[in-house]
A and B are shown apart, each in its own frame.
Chain A
């Protein structure tokens, strides 16, 4: 499973630092970034924005059968995280092997290696979320 390099490259700002976008008229923030506000359409202007990286667990699932490249990491927790600013996104819970994840638990974004293409391929980095105790 090798991602097209152009796609990897385009997504670097959102993956590395949660770069998103917001609508200047209704102030809604989007992640991943949108180019058009679904509510304001042409009346809204879109500008780039960042996120604090703070949020909470909205839902989660423990993965025991991993996709190729993540076999060594099982069991791990995949969660839907709701960011403080509103948007929800799917990410792995970092440093969590059999740890106690609860819906509503506060989390913070961390920068981690997500996977490696193959021993001579590209390394992919991005966000995961760590439980804040």
Chain B
């Protein structure tokens, strides 16, 4: 495969937060039991004027600043989400227009639960490696909803991460060395057309869904590349809660300390399509040149995409060019109580 790499990356997390204990209070659950059980202290909540499209645009603009690239140079835009604002009408056209990439640009929306963002990254690698495009923008963006009172309500959060894939050596901050996927038809989580909230298979979401696919893809990547767990400096796994990624690491005999820097769910919740991509942003914000990163996403339904990335000498100088980095978004926050949260997420039928 011709070499490709990330030339720019950008994050976005909305400014609002709700604490796990505040949600537990409303539903009469024991707060500390939920916090401990899920490993999530608080989650991000989008404002009334935010959705997957607006989140994607801000992440994309940060990625362009890191790459010092004008939006008109982007030749393809893919937006992965399970909360596209429209059922029919693409999010990618809005993003492409907002960054000035239109009209000569390939664009499409992707859907694969929480791994639609990394699916875009794979498409980007393919287009760039085959010289079909010079720069491809791949975004994972979600403003996810859980049914009030459902276990998912404690974690369903909002965020976006954007990656610019390119091939110029003078621009690559992290080489995309290899990728592979592990996909089966597994009914662990779904949302039917017109349904407001998703349904899920409860405990079934663990072993046959998350662990089988995350571990299957990660081990397939090891075999394909000849890399071992000890060859990687960081692992970023999809993070539906604060515990699954650490358990997956233990099962694969990976040092959990290599997972923690890219584990954001405990403080921002599960950002779905943006979850493992934001984890990668967190790692790219601290990694040294020449370090190896393994990124494995997971999308219900079900599948995982695994990537081997290697950072370059250009990373430290590039990352400070973001208008705002992930730490800035994570650090600014305004807490909501459940009543305000219900209003912001329009959980009341009359809104």
Chain A residues within CB distance 8 Å of chain B? 12-13, 16-17, 19, 50, 72-73, 92, 94-95, 108, 110-114, 123, 125, 128
Q: Is the CB of B58 within 8 A of A95?
A: no
Which stretch of B93-101, B120-128, B243-251 is in the interface? B93-101
Q: Is the CB of B49 within 8 A of A114?
A: yes
Chain B residues within CB distance 8 Å of chain A? 15, 47-51, 53-54, 57-58, 61, 71, 85-86, 94, 97-100, 323, 334, 343, 351
Q: Which single member of B47, B51, B61, B85 contacts A95 (CB below 8 Å)?
A: B47
Q: Is the CB of A12 within 8 A of B97?
A: yes
Q: A95: which B residues are within 8 A, CB to CB?
A: 15, 47, 334
Q: Is the CB of B54 within 8 A of A125?
A: yes
Query: How far is the CB of A17 from the nearest CB of chain B, in Å?
Result: 5
Total residue contacts A-B, CB cutoff 8 A: 51
Q: A94: which B residues are within 8 A, CB to CB?
A: 47, 49
Q: Is the CB of A111 within 8 A of B86?
A: no
Query: Could you show 16 A-B contacts with beta carbons less than 8 Å apart?
Result: A13-B97, A16-B94, A17-B98, A19-B100, A50-B100, A72-B48, A72-B351, A73-B49, A92-B49, A94-B49, A111-B57, A111-B58, A111-B61, A111-B98, A112-B54, A123-B51
Q: Is the CB of A73 within 8 A of B100?
A: no
Q: A123: which B residues are within 8 A, CB to CB?
A: 51, 85-86
Q: Which 5 A-B pairs have the closest CB atoms?
A: A111-B57, A112-B49, A16-B98, A113-B49, A95-B15
Q: Which single member of B51, B86, B99 contacts A17 (CB below 8 Å)?
A: B99
Q: Which residue of A lies closest to B61 (CB)?
A: A111
Distance, CA A95 to CA B71, complexed state (A): 26
Query: How far is the CB of B219 from the nearest CB of chain A, in Å?
Result: 40
Q: Which single member of A16, A50, A128 contacts B49 (CB below 8 Å)?
A: A128
Besides the contacts A16-B94, A125-B54, what 4 more A-B pairs have beta carbons closer than 8 Å?
A: A12-B97, A50-B100, A94-B47, A114-B49
Query: How far is the CB of B72 from the nearest CB of chain A, in Å?
Result: 10
Q: Which residue of A lies closest to B344 (CB)?
A: A72
Q: Is the CB of B97 within 8 A of A16?
A: yes
Distance, CA A112 to CA B56, complexed state (A): 10
Q: Is the CB of A113 within 8 A of B97?
A: no
Query: How far is the CB of A35 from the nearest CB of chain B, in Å?
Result: 20
Q: A16: which B residues are within 8 A, CB to CB?
A: 57, 94, 97-98
Q: Is the CB of B97 within 8 A of A17?
A: yes
Distance, CA A92 to CA B47, complexed state (A): 14
Distance, CA A108 to CA B61, complexed state (A): 13
Query: How far is the CB of B50 from the nearest CB of chain A, in Å?
Result: 7
Query: How far is the CB of A124 from the nearest CB of chain B, in Å?
Result: 11
Q: Is the CB of A112 within 8 A of B50?
A: yes
Q: A111: which B residues are within 8 A, CB to CB?
A: 54, 57-58, 61, 98
Q: Is the CB of B86 within 8 A of A110?
A: no
Q: Which single member of B51, B86, B343 contacts A72 (CB below 8 Å)?
A: B343
Distance, CA A1 to CA B98, complexed state (A): 24
Query: How far is the CB of A133 from the nearest CB of chain B, in Å?
Result: 8
Q: Which residue of A lies closest to B14 (CB)?
A: A95
Q: B323: which A residues are within 8 A, CB to CB?
A: 108
Q: Which residue of B lies closest to A12 (CB)?
A: B97
Q: B57: which A residues are within 8 A, CB to CB?
A: 16, 111
Query: How far is the CB of A47 from the nearest CB of chain B, in Å?
Result: 15
Q: B100: which A residues are within 8 A, CB to CB?
A: 17, 19, 50
Q: Given A17-B99, A111-B54, A112-B54, verify A125-B48 contact (CB < 8 Å).
A: no
Q: A108: which B residues are within 8 A, CB to CB?
A: 323
Query: How far is the CB of B253 from the nearest CB of chain A, in Å?
Result: 44
Q: A73: which B residues are within 8 A, CB to CB?
A: 48-49
Q: Which residue of A lies closest to B99 (CB)?
A: A17
Q: B54: which A residues are within 8 A, CB to CB?
A: 110-113, 125
Q: Which residue of A lies closest to B46 (CB)?
A: A113
Distance, CA A36 to CA B351, complexed state (A): 45
For A19, A50, A112, A128, the residue with the greatest tally of chain B CB atoms inside 10 Å of its CB is A112
Q: A128: which B residues are within 8 A, CB to CB?
A: 49
